Structures are given as structure tokens and as C-alpha cells.
């Protein structure tokens, strides 16, 4: 049941937010993600904040746990 709810929330993310989630979950820093995606660190922070809000993650560690449950971390990087 919990996994189903998480998957439903995951579907609300934009493709860019999913990309940022994958990279955050692999342990990359905002600055590294920004460089890789050709955008600013501030933009990445905004995307990450939206991802955390949509997935109800209270912290970065919580976000990584959610990504693990969804199988995102293992497929990223």
C-alpha cells in the first residue's frame, strides 16, 4: 500500500524532477548536478525542494530512503 502511494506521487514529478531525484539519490551534490545538467545550482535546489514536497520527504535522508523504496537509486548514476 505504501509503495503504491509512493509510485502515485512519483508520477506527479516532471521528467526533470525525476532526473534530479535520481542524481540526488546517488549522492551527487547540487553543484555537481547543476554542472551535469547545464543549469544553475539554485535551479537544482528548487527542483529538489519540489521533489521533496511532492514525495513528502522531510529531509534529504528521507528523500534517499524514498528513492530506494522506489528503486530509483539503484538505477541512477
**pLDDT score at 47:** 98
pTM of the model: 0.89
**pLDDT score at 17:** 98
Give the DSSP letter string of the chain: -HHHHHHHHHTTS-HHHHHHHHHHHTT--HHHHHHHHTS-HHHHHHHHHHHHHHTT-SSHHHHHHHHHHTTHHHH--
23 pLDDT higher than 80: yes
Q: Which domain covers residue 31, as residue numbers?
A: 2-75
pLDDT band at 1 (very low <50, low <70, confident <90, very high): confident
What is the domain count for the chain?
1
User: 37-69 pLDDT, tens per residue?
Assistant: 999 999 999 999 999 999 999 999 999 999 999
Whichever domain contains 7, its CATH number is 1.10.10.10
Count Cβ atoms below 10 Å from residue 34 Cβ, excluding itself: 20
Query: How many Å apart are CA 71 and CA 77, to the nearest integer?
Result: 13
**pLDDT score at 45:** 98
Amino acid at each position: 500500500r505504501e509503495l503504491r502511494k509512493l509510485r502515485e506521487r512519483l508520477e506527479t514529478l516532471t521528467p526533470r524532477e525525476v532526473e534530479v531525484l535520481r542524481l540526488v539519490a546517488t549522492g551527487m551534490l547540487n553543484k555537481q548536478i547543476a554542472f551535469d545538467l547545464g543549469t544553475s545550482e539554485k535551479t537544482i535546489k528548487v527542483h529538489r525542494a519540489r521533489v521533496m514536497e511532492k514525495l513528502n520527504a522531510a529531509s534529504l535522508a528521507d528523500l534517499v530512503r524514498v528513492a530506494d523504496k522506489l528503486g530509483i537509486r539503484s538505477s541512477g548514476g
